[in-house]
Structure 1
Amino acid sequence: MPRNKVKIAFIKDKARKNSFMKRNEYLKDKLKEVSILCSIKACVIMYSSYEPQLEMWPEDKTAFQNVLNAFLTKSPMERSKFLLKQDSYIKERISKIK
């Protein structure tokens, strides 16, 4: 059964903020699950135009600082292994498909 056409429109401020907050919480929950299931240390920094301060996960500053320091102490070559830019990701996916 076909779906109706969705009208593309700008989301109102209150709805946009609510949607952002829900997605923000969902992201933190998923990151927590992945870090527990895979036994890895992870952190995230989120910036929002709705709040003046940066939001961090995990909220324990020492745990966050440990993860960040572990990343920053690696050499730039090792660090680049963990970073992926959109254009390099797309090129990698295209090469795998071919």
Structure 2
Amino acid sequence: MAEISTLCGIESCAIIYPENEPEPEVWPSPEKAKEVISKFKEKPRLEQNKRMLNQETLLKKRIQKAEDQLKKQRDENRQKEMSNLMFKFLSTGGISDNNVSLIDLSDLSRLIDQTLKEINLKIEKTQNQDQVEETQTKH
């Protein structure tokens, strides 16, 4: 708890009820714990609940974050699969694999469209830079 308090720059306390012990363990001291709890209770209810998490809410947030990361990773993997498929088609001169699904072809089409847009933007940017440089060298 001391490390959390130091790392986060917050006031904190801990009250732990060990099994088969008549008195709880209090950190840093019972007086300091009472002070921290009093400060907490003085805050408006909305402020108290602002960052408060119970175990269920914490787990739900962690699960959602993990699901989001998984989705992002799946999307990245799919993008790489389609890039590999595109390069395979380019190197063989066309579709020679009958195992390509309509979904793959649709995703591949989107990837090709996206790649062409990126290429066209780079061409435009390069042409604009060339025109600016050409104009500057004339003056």
| TM-score normalised by the chain length of structure 2 | 0.41
Q: What SS does the corresponding residue of 1:45 show, helix, strand or coil?
A: strand
User: Secondary structure at 2:46's aligned position in 1?
Assistant: helix
Q: Choose 1 or 2 for highest CA Rg.
A: 2
RCO higher in structure (CA 8 A, sep ≥6): 1
Provide, for residues 28-67 of structure 1, a one-character-per-residue CA deviation record: whole Å limited to 9, x for no partner: xxx11222233321100111222101221112x3322211
Correspondence for 2:4: 34
Runs (4+) of structure 1 exceeding 6 A deviation are none
**Root-mean-square deviation over aligned CA pairs:** 1.9
Q: 2:31 aligns with which of 59, 62, 70?
A: 62
What amino acid is the match of 2:24?
Answer: L
- SS across alignment from 1:82: coil
> Which residue pairs with 1:94 in the alignment?
63
Separation in 1, partners of 2:18, 2:51: 24
For 2:34 and 2:27, locate their aligned partners in 1 and report how far apart those are by CA, in whole Å.
10
- Structure 2: runs of 5 or more not aligned: 69-139
Q: Which has the higher helix share?
A: 2
Residues 36, 86 of structure 1: alpha-carbon distance in 2 compared, 3 angstrom cutoff: closer
Partner of 1:78: 47
Using the size of structure 1 for normalisation, the TM-score is 0.55
